[in-house]
């Protein structure tokens, strides 16, 4: 797969942004810490360091690190190589900066600025790179990781070209690593730490399942450093120093880091749904206290996203007053995908979903319909990170018509590819839906038979219209999860096929973003082989 420039620039921008944010943040922290508490900043010099010569000319290979860093994003050839490169560099940056905060160190030798042609280089280095952030050496870690990542980028049938390229790459990376001690920027222990970090990242990166794991690890470390360092400054730079504030900030920062690390581990899990163990909910769809204790920062963020989603659907609905239009599988059965809805919106959406736009606009109360109506709503909660609107939906439904609300939970993490879930879990969910539909139909037939026995005339269309079943697939903010699982359900029912599901999505959800990586063709084809007996008999 060919990589375009925009993709390469996006990955480069991400890696550089994380580096400059965290590296400069920890540098400023170490400088301030050294001024206030010099004894808390470590000295890593060993007797062997005093024997290492200072070679001014090594400033040249030292400067190659940034050049090679940037160039590597344009040298890799495949998307796999690009993603691995980004994973490795981002992981190295966040782990190193975490160590810089936890174990601050300072270079202990005095280095005079040379008066030869290298003078400008050292003046610039002294300006942009303070003698802190020592262990591990990022120059050494980056050099090793870039060497490994670029090892196979040259494809040539001539072995001497391949050998010459790899020899040149090895030489450049070796000179970059050696320059860290020969320019008096790092000690030997820093080099050793850089090697250990690079090897660790290589081992970890080959086991990372997707970018979402890296994303949440990065958010965890960034949040930890921002909160902890902000607490340090607030405690020590204010007019009245409060040590307890720094301790409190460190506790909150650690809690933030642990929560996001656990979330990253949840994304790392393969196939079986383990999210229900991570994000537990009550029978009404509310996140449990235990879940809040583990993931409060994440849950708060997703609640904010949910409010943002409501605003989005109200403001950017392209003039459609009710953009969440249900799709009718049969005359008595409809499905609709939605975000998590607020209590104030549920009554109007519910009336629209069950009885249509005309009834809603004419303000006809459902209880005053000229026929009896039995409504069943099946809420399928796909949002692991936020409480469902099922509870509020029950309140809204009971205030209008005789309605039964059933709650089903299939925990899917945000942007988690749908094929990460075992097919059997989808089948089990859809079979539960079928059972509820069959049960409701049986109750409706029984009620009509009782009316006939009692001598009440029941029209055929009244029997048909007296039962309304609505299946509501809902996620948090967007519609990726809810539309994706709804498509799988329609395939399972036989309503959609592998040939028309894409056109159906484009027609009913033109603004949906369901990429092939999220809703893969292989899952579509597998689900399409299942046919629902319920719908073949009901239709």
Distance separating alpha carbons of residues 402 and 23, to the nearest angstrom = 61
- 201 and 94 Cβ atoms separated by less than 8 Å: no
- 438 and 534 Cβ atoms separated by less than 8 Å: yes
Q: What are the two backbone dihedrals, phi and then psi, of residue 372, each rounded to the nearest 5 degrees?
A: -80, 145
The model's pTM is 0.85
- Structure token pair of residue 179: 């320059």
Tell me the DSSP string of 125-169: HHHHS-S---SS-HHHHHHHHHHHHTTT----S-HHHHHHHHHHH
Number of alpha helices (DSSP H) and beta strands (DSSP E) in the chain: 20, 7
Compute CA distances 284 → 147, 151, 280, 388, whole Å.
53, 54, 11, 8
Distance separating alpha carbons of residues 16 and 508, to the nearest angstrom = 40
**pLDDT for 453:** 46
**pLDDT for 159:** 84
- 473 and 335 Cβ atoms separated by less than 8 Å: yes
Tell me the DSSP string of 301-333: HHHHHHHHHHHHHHHSSTT-S-----EEEETTE
**pLDDT for 533:** 46
- 477 and 383 Cβ atoms separated by less than 8 Å: no
Number of residues that make up the chain = 539
- 535 and 493 Cβ atoms separated by less than 8 Å: yes
**pLDDT for 361:** 46
Compute CA distances 405 → 374, 376, 462, 470, whole Å.
11, 6, 22, 10
**Tokens 């109360």, residue?**
365
**pLDDT for 536:** 47
Distance separating alpha carbons of residues 153 and 165, to the nearest angstrom = 10
Among 3.90.190.10, 3.20.19.10, 1.20.1050.10, 3.40.50.300, name the CATH number for the domain at 308-538: 3.90.190.10
Per-residue pLDDT of the chain (539 residues; tens, 9 = 90+): 567 899 999 999 999 999 999 999 999 999 999 998 999 999 999 999 889 999 999 999 999 999 999 999 999 998 889 999 999 999 999 999 999 999 999 998 888 888 888 888 888 888 888 889 999 999 999 999 999 999 988 877 788 888 999 999 999 999 999 999 999 999 999 999 999 999 999 999 888 888 899 999 999 999 999 999 999 988 887 655 567 888 899 999 999 999 999 999 888 887 666 667 788 999 889 999 999 999 999 999 988 888 876 776 666 555 444 467 888 888 888 999 988 887 767 777 777 777 765 544 444 444 444 445 678 889 999 988 999 988 888 777 765 566 788 999 998 888 888 988 888 899 999 999 999 988 876 665 555 555 544 455 444 444 444 678 889 999 887 788 899 999 999 999 888 988 899 999 988 888 777 888 889 999 998 898 866 444 444 44
- 398 and 296 Cβ atoms separated by less than 8 Å: no
Alpha helix stretches (DSSP H) within 37-78: 59-75
Give the start-to-end residue ranges of the domains of the chain: 5-208, 308-538
The angle formed by the CA atoms of residues 234, 216 and 259, to the nearest 5 degrees, is 65
**pLDDT for 236:** 83
SS (H, E, C) 200-217: HHHHHHCCCCCHHHHHHH
């Amino acid at each position: 797969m060919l990589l375009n420039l925009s993709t390469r620039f996006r990955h480069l921008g991400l890696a550089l942004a994380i580096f400059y944010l965290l590296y400069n943040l920890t540098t400023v922290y170490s400088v301030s810490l050294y001024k206030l508490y010099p004894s808390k900043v470590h000295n890593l010099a060993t007797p062997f360091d005093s024997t290492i010569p200072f070679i001014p000319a090594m400033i040249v290979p030292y400067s190659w690190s940034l050049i090679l860093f940037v160039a590597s994003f344009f040298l890799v050839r495949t998307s796999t190589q690009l993603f691995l490169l980004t994973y490795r560099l981002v992981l190295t940056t966040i782990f190193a900066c975490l160590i810089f905060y936890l174990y601050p160190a300072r270079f202990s030798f005095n280095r005079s600025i040379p008066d030869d042609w290298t003078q400008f280089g050292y003046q610039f280095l002294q300006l942009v790179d303070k003698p802190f952030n020592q262990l591990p050496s990022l120059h050494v870690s980056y050099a090793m990781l870039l060497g490994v990542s670029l090892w196979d980028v040259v494809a040539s049938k001539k072995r001497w070209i391949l050998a010459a390229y790899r020899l040149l790459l090895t030489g450049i990376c070796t000179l970059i690593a050696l320059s860290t001690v020969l320019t008096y920027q790092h000690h030997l222990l820093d080099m050793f730490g850089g090697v250990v970090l690079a090897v660790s990242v290589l081992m970890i990166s080959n086991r990372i399942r997707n970018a979402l794991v890296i994303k949440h690890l990065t958010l965890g470390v960034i949040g930890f450093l921002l909160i902890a360092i902000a607490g340090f400054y607030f405690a020590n730079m204010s007019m009245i120093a409060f040590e307890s504030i720094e301790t409190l900030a460190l506790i909150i920062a650690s809690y933030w880091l642990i929560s996001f690390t656990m979330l990253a581990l949840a994304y790392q899990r393969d196939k079986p749904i383990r999210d229900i163990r991570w994000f537990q909910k009550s029978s009404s769809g509310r996140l449990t206290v235990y879940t809040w204790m583990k993931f409060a920062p994440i849950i708060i963020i997703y609640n904010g996203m949910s409010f943002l989603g409501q605003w989005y659907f109200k403001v950017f609905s392209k003039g459609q007053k009710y953009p969440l239009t249900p799709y009718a599988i049969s005359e008595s059965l409809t499905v609709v995908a939605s975000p998590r809805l607020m209590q104030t919106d549920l009554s109007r959406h519910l009336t629209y979903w069950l009885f249509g736009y005309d009834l809603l606009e004419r303000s006809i109360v459902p209880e005053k319909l000229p026929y009896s109506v039995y409504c069943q709503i099946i809420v399928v909660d796909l949002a692991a990170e936020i409480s469902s609107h099922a509870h509020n939906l029950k309140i809204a439904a009971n205030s209008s018509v005789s309605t039964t609300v059933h709650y089903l939970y299939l925990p899917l993490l945000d942007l988690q590819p749908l094929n990460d879930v075992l097919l059997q879990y989808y089948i089990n969910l859809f079979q539960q839906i079928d059972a509820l539909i069959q049960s409701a139909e049986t109750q409706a037939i029984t009620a009509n038979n009782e009316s006939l026995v009692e001598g009440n005339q029941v029209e055929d269309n009244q029997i048909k219209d007296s039962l309304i079943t609505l299946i509501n697939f809902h996620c948090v903010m967007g519609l990726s999860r809810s539309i994706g699982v709804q498509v799988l359900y329609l395939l399972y029912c036989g309503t959609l096929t592998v040939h028309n599901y894409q056109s159906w999505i484009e027609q009913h959800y033109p603004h949906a973003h369901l990429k092939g990586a999220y809703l893969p063709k292989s899952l579509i084809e597998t689900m399409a082989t299942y046919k629902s007996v319920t719908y073949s008999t009901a239709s």
